Amino acid sequence: MANAVTSVVAVGTADVDRCDCNVIHEDIVAQVREKMPGDDILLDLADLFKVFSDSTRVRILCALQHSEMCVCDIAFLLGMTKSAISHQLRALRQTRLVKHRRDGKVVYYSLDDEHVSNIFEQGLIHICE
Amino acid sequence: MANAVTSVVAVGTADVDRCDCNVIHEDIVAQVREKMPGDDILLDLADLFKVFSDSTRVRILCALQHSEMCVCDIAFLLGMTKSAISHQLRALRQTRLVKHRRDGKVVYYSLDDEHVSNIFEQGLIHICE
DNA sequence: GGAACAATTGAACAGTTGCGCAACCATTGT
DNA sequence: ACAATGGTTGCGCAACTGTTCAATTGTTCC
């Protein structure tokens, strides 16, 4: 298209080299770039979804939606070692998705975020489309 | 607690060995197990979020929310090589999140799922809590 | 204090992931 | 037919991830 050709001239050679491209719809790219959130936000967004990208963590969060539980309970429920569960709980703790309280030797975990349910729900809607 | 002690007896030694646990609130675990979705569904859910767990894929999807784009456009917008973009578009294609149409030598990509916006939105709400 | 035990942690290992490179395929124009 | 070009793909590398094992911490009970 003529549009694309003029774009090539407009963006300059240096920029084109960086992405190894020649055909660029400059106007569309400019529009989209303006509307997109900043890279830092999108990186945080990816990091958030990264927490939900492991089935062990998903199962832990799903379990905690129904009840507070200790590490032993979760390990038994999922058929995994306490160590494995504890490692994942650490990740969930660091991202502020779960909180914990100690009662003697036992540590109880529970959800610390009301958004988790909503995010899960949207995901499930997609799964069962 | 007395409750926990009785649980140990109830669940049996073999099951406990599997998770290296002694203190188990059997009633709670049973309740939660009943309410939880099947492991296959939760695995699919994790796989779905895995797609959103990379910032490159997130940026691509975010861009396509605003306009259909060719590979060159996306590569230029994100400052990456066509190869890198194409690799990620493949993943998005396989999970049915984007569709593509060919116009001559140029391949245009666009969103193929109305749920993406909703999932992103829930994530963003959490980010900006 | 010391035994028992829930939980955490660090190191190590296997498996996975994202990207660049080079080769390739698909389409257009001459 | 051939060159040019947008896009795809297989391979390899470096970085990362999840689990296990062993050692450690924190707490309770005697």
Residue pLDDT, tens place only, B76-103 = 999 999 999 999 999 999 999 999 999 9
- E strands in chain B: 69-70, 98-103, 106-111
Return the domain boundaries, chain B: 43-128
Interatomic distance B59 CA / C27 C1' (Å): 29
Residue A68 has pLDDT above 80, yes or no: yes
* Closest nucleotide to A21 by C1' from CA: D6
CB contact under 8 A, B31 and A66: yes
> Residues of chain B whose pLDDT is less than 50?
1-14
CA–CA min distance B6, chain A (Å): 14
Closest Cα in chain B to A4: B73
Q: Topology of domain A43-128, per CATH?
A: Arc Repressor Mutant, subunit A (1.10.10)
Give, for A99, the enclosing helix (H) or strand (E): strand A98-103
pLDDT digits 0-9 by tens, A2-52: 333 333 333 444 445 556 677 778 899 999 999 999 999 999 999 999 999
Asked whether residue B54's C-beta has any atom of DNA/RNA strand C within 7 A, the reply is: yes
pTM of the model: 0.86
Which of A:86-105 have CB within 8 Å of B? none
pLDDT of residue B122: 93
What pLDDT does B6 receive? 35
Q: How far is CA A61 from the centre of its chain?
A: 14
Sort B17 into a burial class: Cβ within 10 Å, 0-12 / 13-18 / 19+.
exposed
